[in-house]
Amino acid sequence: MGGSNLTAGSDVSLLGNAAALTACGRSLVFDSHMHVGDFPLFGVALDGDGLAATMSSAGIGKGVIFSPDNAYTLRVVESMPDVFGMVWVNPREPDYVEDAARYLDHPKFLGAKLHPLLDGYLPADPAIHPVMRLLLERGLPVLIHSGHPIFSLPWSIEELAVAFPDNKIIMGHMGHSNVVYINAAIDIASRRQNVYLETSGMPMHTKIREAVERAGPERVLYGSDAPFHHPEVEMLKVRLSGLSDELVGRVLRSNSEQLFGVPCG
Ligand SMILES: [Zn+2]
């Protein structure tokens, strides 16, 4: 496992006063979207040491990680008190429901991650339904990659949100890089109370403010998508979005703490 490419020096002033106004009165950020592992296609990697360095450098106090290798995620979260996991669920793997249940028995696993694009299925595929029921029983959210045809378009995620209105569904990347998909993600979160938007990889800073204004102040979460995107670049988008300091603090930290059930401190 290689080291991180994300250990460059940081400017803590990037966090400014906004994040200090979170409920806990601390200036550290909660990152709702980080990957661990080697990614040769992208030329990046992030292991436990790299993750610790990245979080420290960027001012991230707590966060959530995942990997298709759930055993690796488990090892990392067990070695880092402020890092939590989401179980990667791939319905094309045997015993995926039983495996998900087993990982969710672990107190540091706080939900499930779905990547329908990489794993090749539609978000509303009935194969996912047992996992949604499991998450509902446990009161845990699911984070789903969004923004690419054919397997991760926002409207396909909305189908799942309609079928499971009591599950909390985080739309990762809030539509990603296309304004049509980004606007669709905001529309969907505005009309579906169980859909949350996560900001990583989405390039339009003003859309973060629009999402908060239209979907509600508790429904937008900061995520970095490290190591694919730099956490501080992703934070800057939130800070420059035009939101008030209080709302920036909610996006950068307290919304995720509430959704994942991670206490302050
Ligand atoms: Zn990601």
Per-residue pLDDT tens over the stretch 194-244: 999 999 999 999 999 999 999 999 999 999 999 999 999 999 999 999 999
Neighbouring CB atoms inside 10 A of 233's CB total 12
Partners of 196 in the beta sheet?
Answer: 170
Q: How remote is the CA of residue 247 from the centroid of ligand 1, in Å?
A: 24
Helix (H, G, I), strand (E, B) or coil at 250: helix
Answer whether residue 241 is part of any domain. Answer: yes
* Residue 50 counted as domain residue: yes
- The answer to whether residue 108 is domain-embedded is yes
* pLDDT at position 174 over 60: yes
Residue 1 inside a domain? The answer is no
Report the candidate in 139, 146, 112 with the shortest Cα–Cα distance to residue 128: 112
Q: Which residue range forms the structural domain that includes residue 88? A: 16-260
Cα-trace Rg, the chain: 17
DSSP labels, 36-72: -EEETTTTEEE-HHHHHHHHHHHTEEEEEEE-S-HHH
Is the model's pLDDT at 2 over the cut of 60?
Answer: no
Question: 17-26, 39-48, 101-110, 236-245: which range is least confident on average?
Answer: 17-26
Percent of the chain's residues with pLDDT above 70? 89
**93: burial class by Cβ within 10 Å (0-12, 13-18, 19+)?**
exposed
Ligand 1 center to 223 CA (angstroms): 9
Question: Using 50, 70 and 90 to split pLDDT, how confident is the model at 26?
Answer: low
CA 106–ligand 1 middle distance (angstroms):
22
Cα–ligand 1 centroid distance for 34 (angstroms): 6
CB-based contacts of 89: which residues, under 8 Å, 6+ apart?
A: 96, 100, 112, 113, 114, 128, 131
Distance 193 CA to ligand 1 centre (A): 23
Number of CB atoms found within 10 A of residue 263's CB: 7
Residue 164 Cα distances to 59, 177, 182, 188, 221, angstroms: 35, 26, 22, 14, 21
**Ligand 1 center from residue 174 Cα (angstroms):** 12
Please tell me the distance between residue 117's alpha carbon and the centre of ligand 1 in angstroms: 11
Phi, psi (degrees; rounded to nearest 5) at 188: -65, -45
**What's the predicted TM-score (pTM) here?**
0.90
Any bridge partners for residue 35, and if so which?
A: 66
Separation of CA 69 and ligand 1 centre (Å): 14
pLDDT digits (tens, 9 = 90+) for 58-112: 999 999 999 999 999 999 999 999 999 999 999 999 999 999 999 999 999 999 9
CA of 175 to the centre of ligand 1 (A): 12
Whether the pLDDT of residue 22 is over 80: the answer is no
Any domain includes 2: no
Pick from 19-28, 150-159, 215-224: least confident: 19-28
CATH assignment at residue 150:
3.20.20.140
CA of residue 73 to ligand 1 center, whole Å: 14
168: left (phi over 0), alpha (psi -120 to 50) or beta: beta
In sequence order, the 6+-apart residues with CB closer than 8 A to the CB of 104 are: 87, 112, 134, 135, 138, 140
Mind giving me the DSSP string for 100-147?
HHHHHTSTTEEEEEE-HHHHT--TT-GGGHHHHHHHHHHT--EEEE-S
Under 8 Å CB-to-CB from 264, ≥6 apart: which residues?
Answer: 23, 24, 26, 257
CA 225 to ligand 1 centroid distance, Å: 5
Establish if 84 belongs to a structural domain: yes
Distance 67 CA to ligand 1 centre (A): 9
Q: Which amino acid is at 262?
A: V
Q: Give the single-character DSSP code of 16.
A: T
159 CA from centroid of ligand 1 (Å): 21
Start-to-end CA distance of the chain, whole Å, equals: 31
Q: Give 227 Cα–ligand 1 centroid separation in angstroms.
A: 9
Q: Is residue 265 part of a domain?
A: no
Residue 9 domain-assigned (yes or no): no
Q: Considering its fold, how many domains does the chain have in total? A: 1
Mean pLDDT over the full length of the chain: 91
